[in-house]
Amino acid sequence: MCTAATYRTKDFYMGRTLDYEFSYGEEVTVMPRRYPLAFHYEGTLAEHYAIIGMAHVAQDYPLYYDAVNEKGLGMAGLNFVGNACYAPEAAAGRRNAAQFEFIPWVLSQCATLAEARALLSELNLTGQPFNSQLPAAQLHWLIADETGAIVVESVAQGLKVYDNPAGVLTNNPPFPQQMFSLNNYMHLSPRQPENLFSAALPLSTYSRGMGALGLPGDLSSASRFVRVAFTRLNSRSGEGEADSVGQFFHILGSVEQQRGCCQVGEDGYEITIYTSCWNANRGIYYYTTYTNRQITAVDMHRAALDGAALARYPIEQTEQIRFQN
């Protein structure tokens, strides 16, 4: 379904894959500071932090899949089908937000992860749909800045907020179970293994990479969680922008989905529709798509951030091949 991760070199990076069998026509969308941001329960914000991210724009409203604000706080919503459970209505004495507006609700008001934590402690998150054609999606969220990451899950027991030291998120099962499953893989290492089986047997390595024998390779969400966590936590790159961005795409490339490997229904196949990476410090949103491996970038600071109208950038879908002769 989807995978999200964070990464830190000289700057802080975050991004995700969107894995699905079809696209909703998403676009890179910049919400400037004076865009009138209407909330279902709390009126309209006339001024707020600017935001850039991937969104489906409906009725001039950006339904963000993932985004980062000008202060460096980022969010990504990932499918959490069967476990997500929202409040049926607004609650007196609480801050109320609908699921569809959760990303801009947080990013428009919070400059840091600490501020987001404080805001979440007051939140009642409802299942109010955007409209009859777009019902509430069953999601959970990764929220992060350069100080750390948390996971937010709205379940039958209420709104849960978890620290996320692994810096990754996929889909089911709930986050505590995903983290617990990493205990099963504590023996994995990027180094070559030693013979701990028995001193009586002359066992030796016969290939590079044997320290990671047992690392899951299938496309299930539980396996992707383990694989991307291992890749992200052992990743090394240069400190520069090109090195950092390139390495981030390689991290998420470890779990991308190819057409034909995950069948959905009779004729559908889940694929990695797009992969995103944003430099949270600089407000630059990078992406690739299934049909265009070229990294494309949108810099939010080149848009009119003091304006009131959305800046929309349709995704570059056509493969770009550079000939050398």
Active centre residues (catalytic): 2
Judge contact between 57 and 65, C-beta under 8 A: no
Instruction: Give the pLDDT confidence score for residue 251 in this predicted structure.
Output: 98
Nearest to 64 by CA among 28, 32, 95: 28
The pLDDT tens digits of the residues spanning 137-148 come to: 999 999 999 999
Given the DSSP bridges, would you call strands 12-20 and 2-8 parallel, antiparallel or unpaired? antiparallel
The pLDDT tens digits of the residues spanning 7-18 come to: 999 999 999 999
Model confidence at 162, pLDDT cuts 50, 70, 90, reads: very high
Judge contact between 143 and 113, C-beta under 8 A: yes
Question: Rounded to whole angstroms, how far apart are CA atoms 254 and 275?
Answer: 12
pLDDT at 259 over 90: yes
Q: What angle do CA 106, 112, 118 make, to 5 degrees?
A: 65
pLDDT at 164 over 90: yes
Instruction: Give the pLDDT confidence score for residue 22 in this predicted structure.
Output: 87
Nearest to 280 by CA among 49, 122, 78, 120: 49
Structure-token pair, residue 101: 């507006």
pLDDT at 1 over 90: no
The CA R_g of the chain, rounded to the nearest whole Å, is 20
CATH number of the domain located at residue range(s) 2-314 in this protein: 3.60.60.10
pTM of the predicted structure, to 2 decimals: 0.96
Question: Rounded to whole angstroms, how far apart are CA atoms 38 and 60?
Answer: 11
Model confidence at 72, pLDDT cuts 50, 70, 90, reads: very high
Question: Rounded to whole angstroms, how far apart are CA atoms 258 and 219?
Answer: 10
Judge contact between 7 and 251, C-beta under 8 A: yes
How crowded is the C-beta side of 230, counted as CA atoms within 13 Å? 26
Q: What angle do CA 198, 200, 204 make, to 5 degrees?
A: 65
Under 8 Å CB-to-CB from 56, ≥6 apart: which residues? 24, 25, 26, 27, 62, 63, 65
Q: What angle do CA 128, 46, 121 make, to 5 degrees?
A: 50
Model confidence at 62, pLDDT cuts 50, 70, 90, reads: very high
What are the domain boundaries of the chain? 2-314
